[in-house]
Structure 1
Amino acid sequence: MRYLSDADVARLLPPPLEAIQLAHAALVALAEGNAEVPPKPAVHPGGASFANAMPAAYPARKLLGCKWISIFPDNRDRGLPAVTGLMVVNHGDTGEPRCVMAAGALTAARTAAVSGACIAALSAPDATVAITGAGVQARSHLRMLAALGRHRVTVFARRSEARAALVDWAASAVPDVELEVSDEVAATVRDAEVVVTGLAIGLTGSALEPDHLRPDVLLLPLDYASSVGADLASAATLSTDHVAQFETVRGAGSLGDYPATDLATGTLLGRPRSGGRVVCQNLGNGLSDLMVASAVADAAEAQDAGQLLDTAPA
């Protein structure tokens, strides 16, 4: 079995456009019922923190695996990543563990790829984009947006040092992106055709005001209902990456007063864009992780990267 550190994974990730194609395929497979992906069970260690197990099987592609991920929002105050975990990729034929990898870079890339699949299908090629939050997800999304050719991006962050750090990083990492930063949410999102919200899950007092948004905006919340509340979702076309999981999360109260939906994002991607606002409440699913992680494992084997672990019986 092979072990890959987060640095290994970051180096071996598929290019953003390939990751978007993988995420699109995963969303369609979920919508069509071609993969087995149970709603992710959650445990709650305390406060706003939680952890999920995210198993998935896609027999047609001989894919099998599971991610164990923890989200501790207060880690930002400790100088630690808010999201950490491990991904296991199994052999589809034998079930043997093939690769274990750190899940930080994987999760960031997968999340951006799912957003990218929605942006590619549901927005204009020259759409303006706003992002709230200047952390890891802002960077992974800027890489994705650069690959898609969506170059006009405004990012909101409260802290001046976070805004400055993002500008410095973007100047070398995504030089084609025309990046603006702002300390005002309303000014950031007002004219944007696409809004990606990446604040902390469970944050209060951060909901976007409907009258600050375009009537045809595409909303991609990464932070559950922290930014895109039930009022916006109720008046929009609402989809989700995994309907059964959405209902589980909604039933647990983690989405507030969100309405129900049976519209899978993978179905929405194949339709002409409807008028009005669209909310893709993609909560994260094990199949999208597995599709990208399998590509990472393939690259690791081809390059003999990472560390081989002896797991043979004694």
Structure 2
Amino acid sequence: MLVLGRSQVESLLSTDALIDALASAMADLSAGRASMPDRVAARVADRDGFLAAMPGFLPSARVLMTKLVSLFPHNDGTPLPTHQALIVVFDPDTGEPAALLDGTAITAARTGAGSALSARLLARPDARVLAVLGTGVQARSHARAICRVRPIRQIRVAGRDPAKAAALAEELSTVLEADVLAVSGYAEALDGADIAAATTHAVEPVIRRPWLTPGVHITSVGFNPAGREIDDATIAGALVCVESRQAVLSPDFGGSNDLLAPIRDGLITAGHVHAELGELVNGSKPGRTAPDQITLYKSVGVAVQDAAAAALVLAAARERSVGEDITLD
């Protein structure tokens, strides 16, 4: 069995290749070609955390895998990430365990790449100003990935801690060609932004309709069991796209409060979800229809994305003879 640690996974995973691979994976999911049951989780109530299992089979990539991922939001602000994960890949012909991969790096990369795919499908082609809300791992991933699909010239970083926002802006300015600056708050970051990437564990919405410019594309990946990132007015007025209707609207576990709460309150119905990313990729649903239309991609993360990323990592590892081989007794 091949074992790959975090630094190895990061060095083997190409963002451009991942965005393309996710397009194929999402099309497979929407067409019913992939197998992806609902995730299950054990909750740790006193820490507002959970440990989830996310199995999936992506036939087009010949990947059978499961991810074990913990989400502990109180890790925010500590040396530990809020999301930590392992991925086990199995031989799809025999069921034999074939590889053990660091899933924390894959989760960060595929989530940002998924948002970049949504921007490629929904953001205006001339989008140049990106607002990044949050200062953690996903903020970094999103800034890097979205710059691969749109001609971003300015990035505004906002978070709860101004010092962290300033540090992230300085870090990103060394690796991206855009002008990166820290701003004082979410409203300032969103004012005039063409794309907004919400990557927080917010209790109260960080995306509010009065702060938005017509035509903005929003990506929202944050999760907080007691909160939400997006206000009702934005949800109601946006063209809403998701990875999977079943996943995002799940009332039991893993669904999005950003959509479930306004459905519960009667502000929208489940039919307000316009499309899955895979339906945009395969052309069965239209995307943006007007320059001033507000579009929204709400992500909860799905296993086929991890499978697509794992396939790329394993192919690159085998090509470069990277990783440690171990034998299971």
TM-score normalized with structure 1 length: 0.91
Q: What does residue 43 of structure 1 align with?
A: 42
Q: Which runs of 5+ in 1 are unaligned?
A: none
Structure 1 residue corresponding to 2:289, chosen from 274, 280, 290: 274
User: After the TM superposition, which of the residue ranges 41-50 and 95-104 deviates more from structure 2?
Assistant: 41-50
Deviations, residues 172-226 of structure 1 (Å, cap 9, x unaligned): 222x1221221211111121121110111xx322342211112322111111462
Contact 1:38 1:245 in 2 (8 A): no
Q: Does 1:139 align with 2:103?
A: no
Q: What does residue 156 of structure 1 align with?
A: 158
Structure 1 residue corresponding to 2:310, chosen from 282, 293, 299: 293
How many angstroms apart in 2 are the aligned matches of 1:294 and 1:123?
28
Distance 1:74 1:221, change over 3 A: same
How many angstroms apart in 1 are the aligned matches of 2:289 and 2:19?
22
Q: For residues 197-212 of structure 1, what are the structure 2 equivalents within 5 Å? A: 197-200=198-201, 203-212=202-211
Q: Does 1:101 align with 2:101?
A: yes
Deviation at 1:277, TM superposition (A): 1.8
Q: What does residue 166 of structure 1 align with?
A: 168
Identity percentage of aligned residues: 26
How many angstroms apart in 2 are the aligned matches of 1:135 and 1:211?
25
Distance 1:61 1:12, change over 3 A: closer
Contact 1:229 1:258 in 2 (8 A): no
How many angstroms apart in 2 are the aligned matches of 1:150 and 1:278?
18
SS in 1 for 2:57: strand
Over the aligned positions, Cα root-mean-square deviation in angstroms equals 2.0
Contact 2:198 2:221 in 1 (8 A): yes
Deviation at 1:290, TM superposition (A): 0.6
How many angstroms apart in 2 are the aligned matches of 1:78 and 1:59?
39
How many angstroms apart in 2 are the aligned matches of 1:272 and 1:248?
24
How many angstroms apart in 2 are the aligned matches of 1:197 and 1:158?
13
Q: Which runs of 5+ in 2 are unaligned?
A: 264-269
Distance 1:146 1:247, change over 3 A: closer
Q: What does residue 217 of structure 2 align with?
A: 218
Deviations, residues 96-130 of structure 1 (Å, cap 9, x unaligned): 22111111111111001101111111112331221
Q: What does residue 266 of structure 2 align with?
A: none
Q: What does residue 184 of structure 2 align with?
A: 183
TM-score normalized with structure 2 length: 0.87
Contact 1:134 1:163 in 2 (8 A): yes
Deviation at 1:78, TM superposition (A): 3.4
Read off the aligned partner of 1:274 and give its amino acid letter. Answer: T
Read off the aligned partner of 1:95 and give its amino acid letter. Answer: G
Read off the aligned partner of 1:190 and give its amino acid letter. Answer: D
User: After the TM superposition, which of the residue ranges 223-232 and 206-215 deviates more from structure 2?
Assistant: 223-232
How many angstroms apart in 2 are the aligned matches of 1:88 and 1:264?
26
How many angstroms apart in 1 are the aligned matches of 2:305 and 2:254?
23
User: After the TM superposition, which of the residue ranges 234-243 and 282-291 deviates more from structure 2?
Assistant: 234-243
Q: Does 1:84 align with 2:101?
A: no
How many angstroms apart in 2 are the aligned matches of 1:212 and 1:84?
33
Read off the aligned partner of 2:288 and give its amino acid letter. Answer: R
Q: Does 1:258 align with 2:262?
A: yes
Deviations, residues 262-308 of structure 1 (Å, cap 9, x unaligned): 53122134324124222211210000111011110111122222221
Read off the aligned partner of 2:104 and give its amino acid letter. Answer: G
Deviations, residues 150-171 of structure 1 (Å, cap 9, x unaligned): 2322111232321232133223
How many angstroms apart in 2 are the aligned matches of 1:208 and 1:247?
20
Q: What does residue 18 of structure 1 align with?
A: 17
Deviation at 1:147, TM superposition (A): 2.3
Q: What does residue 110 of structure 2 align with?
A: 110
How many angstroms apart in 1 are the aligned matches of 2:191 and 2:252?
28
Contact 1:125 1:150 in 2 (8 A): no
Read off the aligned partner of 1:257 and give its amino acid letter. Answer: A
How many angstroms apart in 2 are the aligned matches of 1:220 and 1:36?
25
User: After the TM superposition, which of the residue ranges 105-114 and 267-276 deviates more from structure 2?
Assistant: 267-276
Read off the aligned partner of 1:267 and give its amino acid letter. Answer: E
Q: What does residue 73 of structure 1 align with?
A: 73
Contact 2:317 2:323 in 1 (8 A): yes
Distance 1:235 1:124, change over 3 A: closer
Read off the aligned partner of 1:10 and give its amino acid letter. Answer: E
How many angstroms apart in 2 are the aligned matches of 1:215 and 1:250?
34
Contact 1:50 1:70 in 2 (8 A): yes
Distance 1:100 1:146, change over 3 A: same
Deviation at 1:253, TM superposition (A): 7.3
Distance 1:43 1:299, change over 3 A: same
